[in-house]
Amino acid sequence: MNAINLPQAKILWSKKFPEIYDVYVLANPTKIVVMTRDNDNLKKIVLDQHGNTLSQQLYRNIKLNLELNSISIKVRWSPPQQNIEEQIVVLEQNYYKKKSIASLYSSPWIKPLLRKDIRIEPGSYEHLTIIDIAFRAPNLVVQYEGSGIMQSQFFYKIINIRNSQESTILIEGNIQTDFGVQDGKLIITTEHNSIGSPFGPDHNKGNLVYAVYDLNTRKQIHQQVSTFTDNDTFGWNASYQAGKIWMHDLSDSKWIITDTFGKALIEEQTTVFPEGVVRFITYAPVDKKAYFIVYKHKETAKLLELEVTDRD
């Protein structure tokens, strides 16, 4: 784990852990919660903003099955909230037994409050995989990918793990997607690049760029649908970080940063980004700069800093 001063592109401090399952940043004062392990026991370490250890907690009764290659472990921590105590979900995916068991823990952390198999049958897909999860008690967000020959489709489930009420969110086929959870909301972003993609979305209609859902009601509260030019570089890129959404039109290199309700935070910009996968990090309005990470195959990820024009 590295903490980086973005304006100076300087590493402030580094920490090594045997595994990092989850990281959660608390504000006022800043605390960084890291879910890791000590041998096969789950462990929580809390750091301050300078990387100093404030506290540690070893969960002796939460064992992580690390022996079998057929088992994948995901851990998500949920902070204490009004009328809801601190909770942890441990997802154990056993590919051999074809089970994906989510176990919910809370103080005194002795045994699971409940266990739920969140794996679902492939149905019309050849394969169905759990890609990622997020947890803000009592709501568990599960990202699935269904796939077949040259085809794929992502979808999400919002599951109230206490009462098993759930909703399913389908994403158009052959579109990549990512998500974030913040302030009781699920934010789903999408991306597509026609280069190297023989099958893609219908460009004759609007394409979903991002959507926002209320976790408790599981209802959509906002979406952004845009129409993109059908040419040799048809496509778009959108990503979410800390209440801000970056939207990039690949056909004309124009991009903008908005809040989650579509309000523009800057004027529309035009940038030809370096080759590789571009990920938005943050926008600093005081410095009038936007920061990105660019990943290129077999190369070290690079920090990209761009000056932007504020919206009047």
What domain count does the chain have?
1
CA–CA distance, 150 with 168 (Å, rounded to integer):
23
Report if residue 28 sits inside a domain: no
Report if residue 258 sits inside a domain: no
Report if residue 81 sits inside a domain: yes
DSSP state of 283: E
What pLDDT was estimated at residue 67? Answer: 78
Bridge partners, 34 (sequence order):
23, 45
Report if residue 290 sits inside a domain: no
- Rg, Å, the chain Cα set: 20
Picking from 154, 172, 250, the residue whose alpha carbon sits closest to that of residue 208 is: 172
pLDDT, tens digit only, all 312 positions of the chain: 999 999 888 999 999 999 999 999 999 999 999 999 999 999 999 999 999 999 999 999 999 988 777 789 999 999 999 889 999 999 999 988 889 999 999 999 999 999 999 999 888 899 999 999 999 999 999 999 999 887 899 999 999 998 999 999 999 998 999 999 999 999 999 999 876 555 667 777 788 999 999 999 999 999 999 887 666 667 899 999 999 999 999 888 999 999 999 999 999 999 999 988 899 999 999 999 999 999 988 888 899 999 998 776
Helix (H, G, I), strand (E, B) or coil at 55: strand
Q: What is the pTM of this model?
A: 0.93
Report if residue 157 sits inside a domain: yes
What pLDDT was estimated at residue 206? Answer: 85
What pLDDT was estimated at residue 198? Answer: 59
DSSP state of 262: S
Report if residue 107 sits inside a domain: yes
What pLDDT was estimated at residue 140? Answer: 98
Report if residue 88 sits inside a domain: yes
What pLDDT was estimated at residue 196? Answer: 54
Picking from 82, 81, 90, the residue whose alpha carbon sits closest to that of residue 62 is: 90
Element (H, E) at 68: none
Q: What is the number of H-type helices and E-type strands within the chain? A: 0, 25
CA–CA distance, 41 with 35 (Å, rounded to integer):
11
What pLDDT was estimated at residue 123? Answer: 85
Query: Which string of b and e fits 123-138 if b means at least 16 CB within 10 Å?
Result: eebeebbbeebbbbbb
Q: What are phi and psi of 272, to 5 degrees?
A: -90, 105
Q: Which range marks the domain in which residue 127 is found? A: 69-170
Report if residue 165 sits inside a domain: yes
Q: Are 65 and 93 in contact (CB under 8 A)?
A: no
CA–CA distance, 202 with 228 (Å, rounded to integer):
10
The secondary structure of 1-43, three-state, reads CEEEECCCCEEEEECCCCCCCEEEEECCCCEEEEEEEECCEEE
List CB contacts of 245: < 8 A, sequence separation 6 or more.
Answer: 187, 189, 210, 224, 238, 239, 257, 258, 259, 260
What pLDDT was estimated at residue 7? Answer: 86
10 token code pair: 């300087």
DSSP state of 113: S
What pLDDT was estimated at residue 232? Answer: 63
CA–CA distance, 213 with 192 (Å, rounded to integer):
22
Picking from 127, 153, 128, 154, the residue whose alpha carbon sits closest to that of residue 143 is: 154
Cα 250 → chain centroid: 22
